C-alpha cells in the first residue's frame, strides 16, 4: 500500500467512525462478550459434496418435519432427502427450487412454525408503570404493570458458555428488523460489558431452552406484541444465577473476562473493601490487583485469577 493509499484509508476510517459511532458488536474490532449481530442467522445451506453438517441442518430438518415436508431422521446432514424436502417447500411457496436455504427460507419456516403462537388472542396494551422481569431459570419473560404481572411469554436464554446477563438494566434502543439476526424486533439493553437485548428469532424451536449467545429470544409474534408496550427507559430485571446456567459450576475468571460472574465478584470485592473501581462486569487491571490483594489476605495461593478456592473464600 502506498503512502497516498494509507492516508485515504485513514480518512475513510475516520469518516466511518464519525458517521457510525455505535456500530453493532460484530463490526467492532475489540473482542467482547456479546450477543453478536448474526447470532440467530444460520449459514446459507447449499447442496455440496461432501454434504454440509451441523445443528443448523438438524434444526432445518425438525422444522420441515413439523410442517410435513420431511420424513427422514434428524441426522444433521444436508443430503438428498433433506434437499428434496426443501425443493418441495420452495415450489409450494413460489420460490426457486434450488435447494438453497437462505435467510428468506429460514424466515418463512419460522413464521409457519409460529402460527399457533401468532394465532393467540391479542392482549390490549398494559396501563400504568411498565417493567419487565426475565427469569432465566424458568425461561419466562413477565410484563409488569404497576407492580402486578400483566402478561407472560416463553423465551430462550443464554447457553452455558454464553449466559444471559443477570442484573437490573434498561431498554436503551429499539429497532424494527434490525439486521437478519434478530428476528422482527430488537430491544437493546444497557449492559456495560457487551451488547445484549430482547429480540425475535428465526429458530422458534429454541424458545424455552438455553440456546442464545446471551440475548433473550422470543417468538417474533410475541416480541411484536411486546415492542409497542415498552418505551426506552423501561426497567428490565433479569433474575437467576449470575454464574450462568444452574448446575454448570463457576467459570475460572482472569483479566479480560466479561460477564455477570465478573460483575458479582466485583460487587463482593467492593463490599469487602478490596476493590475501589467501577462495577461494570469487566475484569481489568484494577480488579486483578484486588484479586491478588484478597488472595494474599485470605491465605490463598498467589495468583491473579478467581478460581474455586477464591469463590469459596468470597462466599460465592
pLDDT tops 60 at residue 7:
no
Domain extent listing, the chain: 55-113, 130-239, 260-314
- The domain 260-314 is placed in CATH, from the list 3.40.710.10, 1.10.150.250, 3.30.930.10, 1.10.101.10, at 1.10.101.10
Which residue among 25, 213, 215, 250 is the active-site one?
A: 215
Rg value, the chain, Cα = 23
| pLDDT for position 179 | 61
Mean pLDDT score, 296-316: 93
Going by C-alpha positions, the residue among 185, 195, 196, 188 that lies closest to residue 222 is 185
Report the alpha-carbon distance of residue 134 to residue 91 in Å, rounded.
Answer: 40
Query: Which pLDDT score, from 0 to 100, does residue 20 have?
Result: 38
Cell triple for 271: 463490599
Residues 240-249 pLDDT 10s: 988 877 777 7
Mean predicted confidence (pLDDT) in 263-279:
93
**Does 199 participate in catalysis according to the annotation?**
yes
Contact 301, 310 (CB under 8 A): no
Q: What is the pLDDT of residues 46-65, one digit of tens each?
A: 999 999 998 889 888 988 99
Quick check: 204 and 184 in contact, CB under 8 A?
A: no
Q: Supply the pLDDT for residue 9.
A: 46
Q: Residue length, the chain?
A: 316
Catalytic position from the list 25, 199, 219, 250: 199
Could you tell me which residues are beta bridge partners of residue 216? 198
Does 35 participate in catalysis according to the annotation?
Answer: no
What is the tens place of the pLDDT at every residue in 89-135?
999 999 999 999 987 888 788 778 776 655 556 778 899 999 999 99
Residue 294 in this model has a pLDDT that exceeds 90: yes
Per-residue pLDDT, 42: 62
> How confident is the model over 169-210, as pLDDT tens digits?
999 999 987 766 677 889 999 999 988 999 988 888 888 888
Q: Specify whether domain 130-239 bears CATH 1.20.1050.10.
A: no
Third-level CATH fold of 55-113: Muramoyl-pentapeptide Carboxypeptidase; domain 1 (1.10.101)
Whether pLDDT at 88 is above 90: yes
Residue-wise pLDDT tens digits, 207-239: 888 888 899 999 888 999 999 999 999 999 999
Two domains, one topology: 55-113 and 260-314: yes
C-alpha cell at 187: 430491544
Q: Write down the mean pLDDT value for the chain.
A: 83
Average pLDDT rounded to a whole number, residues 29-58 = 69
With cut-offs at 50, 70 and 90, classify the pLDDT of residue 35: low
Amino acid at each position: 500500500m502506498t503512502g497516498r493509499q494509507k492516508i485515504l484509508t485513514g480518512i475513510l476510517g475516520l469518516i466511518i467512525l464519525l458517521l457510525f459511532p455505535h456500530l453493532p458488536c460484530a463490526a467492532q474490532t475489540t473482542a467482547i462478550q456479546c450477543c453478536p449481530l448474526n447470532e440467530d442467522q444460520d449459514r446459507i445451506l447449499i447442496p455440496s459434496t461432501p454434504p454440509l453438517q451441523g445443528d443448523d441442518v438438524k434444526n432445518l430438518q425438525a422444522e420441515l418435519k413439523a410442517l410435513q415436508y420431511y420424513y427422514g431422521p434428524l441426522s444433521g446432514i444436508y443430503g438428498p432427502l433433506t434437499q428434496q424436502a426443501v425443493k418441495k417447500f420452495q415450489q409450494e411457496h413460489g420460490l426457486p427450487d434450488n435447494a438453497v436455504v437462505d435467510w428468506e427460507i429460514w424466515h418463512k419456516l419460522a413464521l409457519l412454525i409460529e402460527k399457533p403462537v401468532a394465532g393467540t388472542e391479542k392482549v390490549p396494551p398494559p396501563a400504568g408503570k411498565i417493567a419487565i422481569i426475565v427469569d432465566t431459570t424458568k425461561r419466562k419473560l413477565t410484563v409488569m404493570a404497576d407492580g402486578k404481572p400483566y402478561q407472560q411469554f416463553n423465551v430462550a436464554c443464554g447457553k452455558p458458555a454464553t449466559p444471559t446477563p443477570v442484573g437490573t438494566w434498561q431498554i436503551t434502543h429499539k429497532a424494527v428488523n434490525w439486521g437478519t439476526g434478530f428476528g422482527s424486533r430488537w430491544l437493546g439493553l444497557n449492559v456495560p460489558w457487551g451488547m445484549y437485548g430482547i429480540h425475535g428469532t428465526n429458530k422458534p424451536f429454541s424458545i424455552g431452552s438455553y440456546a442464545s449467545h446471551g440475548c433473550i429470544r422470543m417468538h417474533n409474534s410475541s416480541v411484536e406484541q411486546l415492542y409497542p408496550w415498552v418505551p426506552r427507559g423501561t426497567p428490565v430485571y433479569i433474575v437467576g444465577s449470575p454464574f450462568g446456567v444452574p448446575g454448570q459450576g463457576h467459570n475460572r475468571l482472569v483479566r479480560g473476562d466479561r460477564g455477570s460472574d465478573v460483575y458479582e465478584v466485583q460487587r463482593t470485592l467492593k463490599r469487602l473493601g478490596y476493590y475501589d473501581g467501577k462495577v461494570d462486569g469487566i475484569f481489568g487491571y484494577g480488579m486483578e490487583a484486588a484479586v491478588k490483594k484478597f488472595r494474599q489476605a485470605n491465605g490463598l495461593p498467589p495468583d491473579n485469577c478467581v478460581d474455586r478456592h477464591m469463590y469459596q473464600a468470597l462466599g460465592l
